[in-house]
Amino acid sequence: MLTGLTLTEARAGLAARKFSARELAQAHLDAIGRLNTALNAYITVLPEADVLASADAADARYAAGTAGIMDGLPIGVKDLFCTKGVRTTAASKMLADFVPPYESTVTANLLNAGAVFLGKTNLDEFAMGSANINSAFGPATNPWKRKGDEATALVPGGSSGGSSAAVAAGMALAATGTDTGGSIRQPAAYCGIVGLKPTYGRCSRWGTIAFASSLDQAGPMTRSVADAGLMLEAMAGFDAKDSTSSNRPVPAFHKAVGKSVKGLRVGIPAEYRAPGLPAEIVAMWEQGIAWLKAAGCEVVDVSLPHTRYGLTTYYIIAPAECSSNLARYDGIRFGLRKDAPSLDGVYEATRAAGFGQEVRNRILMGTYVLSAGYYDAYYLKAQKVRTLIKRDFENAFENVDVLLTPTAPSAAFAQGENMDDPVQMYLNDIFTVPASMAGVPALSVPVGLNDAGLPLGLQIIGKHFDEETVLSIGGALEAAAGFTHTPSIHAGAGA
């Protein structure tokens, strides 16, 4: 079944001419045609002729022996990356008809490596949310169902929920995501796939629609840890157009998977044992610790004392940066415009019509903490606490190689749950936000199912620019867990 392959398997099959890139692309287009109405994972699906033309070009490169590392591999692109000539909406009415005249650096790198784009995946509007329920194009739906309950639709996580749902359901071999406070890792855990947030600066932000510039980072969402390494190789690299882009060389990340992890020290942060953490999450975490011990790792207790301030600090800094970044949507230069008798009226009418409720909430929060009289009390203090959070990680990494934590405090919940309680919704990111605040790499790996039959993930956090060790540990965890489950809604179901 072509839609059930990993990137690594598909690449090997293409190289051996077991099937063509055209056949692979067509299988995924067919899957999208069957499943996208139910899952709403894609906002825009590229024309079949364009997708197949890209696949044919990849087949020609395989025949000529000039194939790149992503050649012929059909993937989804989160609709936050600008794609030249292809509508890019950020899941917002504000950009509902925006067609960029340029390509983001990350997607350009993937195209240069031969990737075949299937379409633009759904997300929370401007990447603000943890459940993909804030999209102007409707919510994306998790392909997993609770055991014995086929009727209840579950969230795929957010903000990269369309990407995670597409990969889990067999509608793409992999997809790009962005992670500001957990938006790759949490949806990966909810959908039973692998999600990697690289070190801040590893992938260029140029051409990616901004939410919070000091936190946003692109990364891969895949079916295996090796796939995440392979795709990151194609996505990463220095970009002179992004002042925060790192000039470090890009290693062969996928080769880190399968390396021995014997002797590596794994830290277990005491602060992540949060009060009220569900027993199923604790049990899965303890199982992960046992698996790594069996693989030869040394497990060490560590402390990250400022972790408890991570979420509150994030929800000051991220909205502040959002308020600044989204000021550009004024109805004058691009995007939606609502006419009014005065200039101020144009601004007000355009922004009221273009932004959804969650985006408006965050703009208001951000504007408040940046306003005169509150800047020092909130924003400046949050930046100081962020420095302390980063220092906690640096101190911990003097004694350990990686940290192991849960990815999320629960499995996927139902659409409609928690919607009236924004604080409860924000708590979904409690385990992912600290790594984002510190700018360190973090990987979510699916390790099992809970009693309701839903996937759970564990998170590996590493040192700055040490994605290779993170991937090595992730590979060991993946091999021990042997997670091979498929969701209820899948391209191969009934095939």
Active-site entry in 54, 92, 163, 183: 183
Structure tokens at 116: 């075949």
Q: What is the DSSP letter of 208?
A: B
Radius of gyration for the chain, computed over Cα atoms and rounded to the nearest angstrom: 21
| 16 contacts: CB under 8 Å, gap ≥ 6 | none
Q: What 8-state DSSP symbol labels residue 465?
A: T
Mode of pairing for the β-strands spanning 174-179 and 74-78: parallel
The residues, any chain, with a CB within 8 Å of residue 14's CB and separated by 6 or more, are 20, 21, 24, 58, 62, 67, 71, 72, 73
Helix axes 21-39, 7-15, angle to 10 degrees: 150
CA-wise closest residue to 206 among 181, 229, 230, 240: 240
Identify whether the C-beta of residue 234 lies closer than 8 Å to the C-beta of residue 110: yes
| Euclidean distance between CA atoms 394 and 438, whole angstroms | 9
Distance CA 15, CA 5 (A): 14
Q: Output the CA–CA distances (angstroms, integers) from residue 446 to 186, 301, 411, 435, 475, in the order listed.
A: 11, 23, 11, 18, 11
381 annotated active-site: no
Assign residue 197 a region (left: φ > 0; alpha: ψ between -120 and 50; beta: otherwise). beta
Catalytic (active site) residue 436: no
Q: What is the largest CA-CA distance in the chain?
A: 70
* C-alpha span between 267 and 281 (Å, rounded): 17
Residue 154 is given by DSSP the state: B
Q: Exactly one of 159, 160, 224, 323 is catalytic; which is it? A: 159
Question: Which residue do the tokens 């001419």 mark?
Answer: 17
Contact 265, 297 (CB under 8 A): yes
Contacts of 445 (CB under 8 A, 6+ apart): 194, 225, 457, 458, 459, 460, 474, 477, 478, 481, 483
Both structure tokens of 454: 């839903």
Contact between 183 and 78 (Cβ < 8 Å):
no
Is residue 78 part of the annotated active site? The answer reads: yes
Determine contact, residues 215/181, Cβ cutoff 8 Å.
Answer: yes
Q: Specify whether the CB–CB gap between 289 and 268 falls below 8 A.
A: yes
Under a CB-based contact definition with an 8 Å cutoff, are residues 219 and 203 in contact?
Answer: yes
Query: Tokens for 1?
Result: 């079944």
Verify cis geometry, omega within 30 degrees of 0, for the bond prior to 159.
yes
The residue annotated as part of the active site, out of 78, 145, 197, 463, is 78
Residues recognised as catalytic: 78, 159, 183
